[in-house]
Structure 1
Protein backbone atom coordinates (compact mmCIF):
# COMPACT_ATOMS: atom_id res chain seq x y z
CA UNK A 1 0.00 0.00 0.00
CA UNK A 2 1.24 3.45 -0.91
CA UNK A 3 1.99 5.59 2.13
CA UNK A 4 2.51 8.79 0.19
CA UNK A 5 0.17 9.10 -2.78
CA UNK A 6 1.42 10.35 -6.09
CA UNK A 7 0.53 13.80 -7.34
CA UNK A 8 1.28 14.91 -10.86
CA UNK A 9 1.27 18.40 -12.30
CA UNK A 10 1.63 19.08 -16.01
CA UNK A 11 2.44 22.56 -17.21
CA UNK A 12 3.15 23.99 -20.63
CA UNK A 13 6.09 26.38 -20.93
CA UNK A 14 6.43 29.24 -23.38
CA UNK A 15 7.56 27.63 -26.61
CA UNK A 16 5.36 24.59 -26.07
CA UNK A 17 7.65 22.35 -24.04
CA UNK A 18 5.97 20.55 -21.16
CA UNK A 19 7.09 19.78 -17.60
CA UNK A 20 5.44 17.00 -15.65
CA UNK A 21 6.24 17.06 -11.94
CA UNK A 22 5.70 13.86 -9.95
CA UNK A 23 5.60 14.02 -6.16
CA UNK A 24 5.32 11.04 -3.83
CA UNK A 25 5.55 7.33 -4.50
CA UNK A 26 5.39 5.78 -7.95
CA UNK A 27 4.42 2.16 -7.60
CA UNK A 28 1.89 -0.44 -8.72
CA UNK A 29 -0.94 1.50 -7.04
CA UNK A 30 -0.06 4.96 -8.38
CA UNK A 31 1.42 4.13 -11.80
CA UNK A 32 -2.01 4.27 -13.52
CA UNK A 33 -2.31 7.92 -12.46
CA UNK A 34 1.03 8.78 -14.06
CA UNK A 35 0.13 6.74 -17.14
CA UNK A 36 -3.14 8.68 -17.53
CA UNK A 37 -1.32 12.01 -17.28
CA UNK A 38 1.30 10.90 -19.81
CA UNK A 39 -1.38 9.61 -22.18
CA UNK A 40 -2.72 13.18 -22.37
CA UNK A 41 0.64 14.61 -23.49
CA UNK A 42 0.66 15.30 -27.22
CA UNK A 43 3.97 14.26 -28.72
CA UNK A 44 5.12 15.40 -32.13
CA UNK A 45 8.27 16.29 -34.02
CA UNK A 46 10.54 18.37 -31.79
CA UNK A 47 8.30 18.16 -28.72
CA UNK A 48 9.95 17.93 -25.32
CA UNK A 49 8.53 16.56 -22.10
CA UNK A 50 10.64 17.00 -18.99
CA UNK A 51 9.60 14.64 -16.20
CA UNK A 52 10.69 16.23 -12.93
CA UNK A 53 11.28 13.44 -10.42
CA UNK A 54 13.09 15.51 -7.77
CA UNK A 55 10.27 14.97 -5.26
CA UNK A 56 9.72 11.29 -6.03
CA UNK A 57 10.36 9.29 -2.87
CA UNK A 58 9.96 5.80 -4.32
CA UNK A 59 9.74 4.16 -7.73
CA UNK A 60 9.24 0.48 -8.49
CA UNK A 61 9.44 -1.41 -11.77
CA UNK A 62 5.84 -0.54 -12.64
CA UNK A 63 6.68 3.15 -12.49
CA UNK A 64 9.81 2.66 -14.57
CA UNK A 65 7.74 0.82 -17.18
CA UNK A 66 5.35 3.78 -17.43
CA UNK A 67 8.31 6.12 -18.04
CA UNK A 68 9.82 3.80 -20.65
CA UNK A 69 6.47 3.57 -22.47
CA UNK A 70 6.18 7.36 -22.57
CA UNK A 71 9.72 7.60 -23.93
CA UNK A 72 8.91 5.09 -26.67
CA UNK A 73 5.70 6.93 -27.57
CA UNK A 74 7.52 10.27 -27.77
CA UNK A 75 10.34 8.78 -29.81
CA UNK A 76 7.91 7.25 -32.32
CA UNK A 77 6.33 10.70 -32.79
CA UNK A 78 9.68 12.50 -33.15
CA UNK A 79 9.59 13.95 -29.65
CA UNK A 80 11.70 13.53 -26.54
CA UNK A 81 11.29 12.70 -22.88
CA UNK A 82 13.98 13.90 -20.50
CA UNK A 83 14.10 12.95 -16.83
CA UNK A 84 15.25 15.50 -14.27
CA UNK A 85 16.11 15.57 -10.60
CA UNK A 86 16.52 11.86 -9.91
CA UNK A 87 17.66 11.24 -6.36
CA UNK A 88 20.81 9.20 -5.81
CA UNK A 89 18.99 5.90 -5.27
CA UNK A 90 16.77 6.19 -8.33
CA UNK A 91 19.66 7.37 -10.46
CA UNK A 92 21.64 4.32 -9.32
CA UNK A 93 18.77 1.99 -10.32
CA UNK A 94 18.63 3.59 -13.76
CA UNK A 95 22.40 3.08 -14.13
CA UNK A 96 22.28 -0.56 -13.00
CA UNK A 97 19.56 -1.52 -15.48
CA UNK A 98 21.07 0.58 -18.28
CA UNK A 99 18.27 3.12 -18.52
CA UNK A 100 20.77 5.94 -18.15
CA UNK A 101 21.73 5.02 -21.75
CA UNK A 102 18.07 5.01 -22.85
CA UNK A 103 16.88 8.26 -21.24
CA UNK A 104 18.35 11.70 -21.28
CA UNK A 105 18.80 12.45 -17.57
CA UNK A 106 19.58 15.93 -16.28
CA UNK A 107 20.26 17.12 -12.72
CA UNK A 108 17.46 19.74 -12.73
CA UNK A 109 14.41 20.73 -14.74
CA UNK A 110 16.17 23.92 -15.81
CA UNK A 111 19.11 21.88 -17.11
CA UNK A 112 16.73 19.58 -18.99
CA UNK A 113 14.96 22.51 -20.64
CA UNK A 114 18.27 24.12 -21.64
CA UNK A 115 19.54 20.81 -23.06
CA UNK A 116 16.31 20.22 -24.98
CA UNK A 117 15.82 23.71 -26.35
Structure 2
Protein backbone atom coordinates (compact mmCIF):
# COMPACT_ATOMS: atom_id res chain seq x y z
CA UNK A 1 0.00 0.00 0.00
CA UNK A 2 1.28 3.45 -0.89
CA UNK A 3 1.79 5.98 1.88
CA UNK A 4 -0.71 8.76 1.07
CA UNK A 5 1.62 11.38 2.49
CA UNK A 6 4.10 10.54 -0.26
CA UNK A 7 1.49 11.61 -2.78
CA UNK A 8 1.56 15.19 -1.43
CA UNK A 9 4.46 17.46 -0.62
CA UNK A 10 4.25 20.88 0.98
CA UNK A 11 7.43 22.93 0.78
CA UNK A 12 7.44 26.11 2.88
CA UNK A 13 9.81 28.93 1.98
CA UNK A 14 10.20 32.59 2.77
CA UNK A 15 10.40 34.78 -0.33
CA UNK A 16 13.19 37.36 0.07
CA UNK A 17 11.62 40.47 1.56
CA UNK A 18 8.21 39.15 0.57
CA UNK A 19 5.46 36.72 1.50
CA UNK A 20 5.73 33.24 2.94
CA UNK A 21 5.18 30.61 0.24
CA UNK A 22 3.71 27.12 0.59
CA UNK A 23 4.47 25.07 -2.52
CA UNK A 24 1.93 22.25 -2.78
CA UNK A 25 2.54 19.30 -5.13
CA UNK A 26 0.65 16.07 -5.68
CA UNK A 27 -2.75 14.94 -4.51
CA UNK A 28 -4.56 16.91 -1.81
CA UNK A 29 -7.31 14.73 -0.35
CA UNK A 30 -8.60 13.40 2.96
CA UNK A 31 -5.51 11.18 3.29
CA UNK A 32 -2.96 13.94 2.79
CA UNK A 33 -4.74 17.14 3.87
CA UNK A 34 -3.11 16.95 7.31
CA UNK A 35 0.24 17.91 5.75
CA UNK A 36 -1.14 21.16 4.34
CA UNK A 37 -3.16 21.82 7.51
CA UNK A 38 0.03 21.63 9.58
CA UNK A 39 1.89 23.88 7.14
CA UNK A 40 -0.92 26.47 7.29
CA UNK A 41 -0.87 26.34 11.09
CA UNK A 42 2.90 26.89 11.14
CA UNK A 43 2.98 29.61 8.46
CA UNK A 44 3.66 33.14 9.71
CA UNK A 45 0.50 34.95 8.69
CA UNK A 46 1.92 38.47 8.96
CA UNK A 47 1.83 41.72 6.99
CA UNK A 48 4.02 40.22 4.22
CA UNK A 49 1.28 37.72 3.36
CA UNK A 50 1.11 34.08 2.39
CA UNK A 51 1.07 32.53 -1.09
CA UNK A 52 -0.19 28.99 -1.58
CA UNK A 53 1.41 27.78 -4.82
CA UNK A 54 -0.86 25.09 -6.27
CA UNK A 55 0.91 24.80 -9.64
CA UNK A 56 2.11 21.29 -8.72
CA UNK A 57 -1.29 20.12 -7.47
CA UNK A 58 -2.67 17.22 -9.48
CA UNK A 59 -5.85 16.54 -7.48
CA UNK A 60 -7.90 18.33 -4.83
CA UNK A 61 -11.04 17.05 -3.14
CA UNK A 62 -13.42 18.77 -0.73
CA UNK A 63 -11.08 18.10 2.20
CA UNK A 64 -8.35 20.03 0.41
CA UNK A 65 -10.72 22.90 -0.31
CA UNK A 66 -11.60 22.97 3.39
CA UNK A 67 -7.91 23.38 4.27
CA UNK A 68 -7.65 26.30 1.84
CA UNK A 69 -10.75 27.88 3.42
CA UNK A 70 -9.09 27.48 6.82
CA UNK A 71 -6.04 29.33 5.46
CA UNK A 72 -8.36 32.08 4.17
CA UNK A 73 -10.04 32.38 7.57
CA UNK A 74 -6.65 32.60 9.27
CA UNK A 75 -5.57 35.33 6.84
CA UNK A 76 -8.73 37.31 7.62
CA UNK A 77 -8.23 36.91 11.37
CA UNK A 78 -4.59 38.02 11.23
CA UNK A 79 -5.03 40.68 8.54
CA UNK A 80 -2.42 38.89 6.42
CA UNK A 81 -2.93 38.86 2.64
CA UNK A 82 -3.44 35.40 1.12
CA UNK A 83 -3.10 34.48 -2.55
CA UNK A 84 -3.49 31.21 -4.41
CA UNK A 85 -1.14 30.75 -7.34
CA UNK A 86 -0.91 28.38 -10.28
CA UNK A 87 -4.44 26.97 -10.05
CA UNK A 88 -5.12 24.91 -13.17
CA UNK A 89 -8.28 25.24 -15.25
CA UNK A 90 -9.97 22.14 -13.83
CA UNK A 91 -9.38 23.23 -10.24
CA UNK A 92 -10.49 26.77 -11.06
CA UNK A 93 -13.76 25.38 -12.42
CA UNK A 94 -14.34 23.65 -9.07
CA UNK A 95 -13.54 26.87 -7.19
CA UNK A 96 -16.05 28.71 -9.42
CA UNK A 97 -18.78 26.09 -8.91
CA UNK A 98 -18.55 26.43 -5.11
CA UNK A 99 -18.20 30.21 -5.28
CA UNK A 100 -14.62 30.40 -4.03
CA UNK A 101 -13.52 32.28 -7.14
CA UNK A 102 -15.17 35.25 -5.40
CA UNK A 103 -13.32 34.63 -2.11
CA UNK A 104 -9.69 33.95 -2.98
CA UNK A 105 -7.18 36.12 -4.80
CA UNK A 106 -5.68 34.15 -7.69
CA UNK A 107 -2.45 34.66 -9.62
CA UNK A 108 -1.18 32.67 -12.62
CA UNK A 109 2.13 31.92 -10.91
CA UNK A 110 3.82 32.12 -7.52
CA UNK A 111 6.19 34.73 -8.93
CA UNK A 112 3.29 37.01 -9.87
CA UNK A 113 1.66 36.49 -6.47
CA UNK A 114 4.91 37.29 -4.70
CA UNK A 115 5.36 40.38 -6.84
CA UNK A 116 1.84 41.60 -6.04
CA UNK A 117 2.42 41.18 -2.29
CA UNK A 118 5.95 42.59 -2.28
CA UNK A 119 5.98 45.94 -0.51
Please name the residue that 1:25 is paired with: 27
Deviation (angstroms), 1:116: 1.8
Report the count of equivalent residues: 116
Judging changes above 3 Å, is the alpha-carbon distance between structure 1 residues 3 and 38 closer, same or farther for their aligned structure 2 residues? closer
Please name the residue that 1:111 is paired with: 112
SS in 1 for 2:7: coil
8 Å contact from structure 2 (residues 5, 32) kept in 1? no
* Structure 2: gaps of 5 or more residues: none
Judging changes above 3 Å, is the alpha-carbon distance between structure 1 residues 13 and 92 closer, same or farther for their aligned structure 2 residues? same
Q: Runs of 4+ in structure 1 displaced over 2 angstroms?
A: 1-4
8 Å contact from structure 2 (residues 18, 117) kept in 1? no
* Structure 1: gaps of 5 or more residues: none
Please name the residue that 1:74 is paired with: 75
8 Å contact from structure 1 (residues 47, 78) kept in 2? no
Deviation (angstroms), 1:55: 0.9
Question: Counterparts in 2 of 1:40-59, with a 5 A limit?
Answer: 40-44=42-46, 46-59=47-60
SS in 2 for 1:37: helix
8 Å contact from structure 2 (residues 15, 114) kept in 1? no
Q: Tell me, in whole angstroms, the C-alpha distance in 2 between the residues paired with 1:58 and 1:25.
A: 5
Q: Tell me, in whole angstroms, the C-alpha distance in 2 between the residues paired with 1:33 and 1:3.
A: 7
Deviation (angstroms), 1:40: 0.4
8 Å contact from structure 2 (residues 29, 62) kept in 1? yes
Judging changes above 3 Å, is the alpha-carbon distance between structure 1 residues 107 and 16 closer, same or farther for their aligned structure 2 residues? closer
Q: Which has the higher helix share?
A: 2
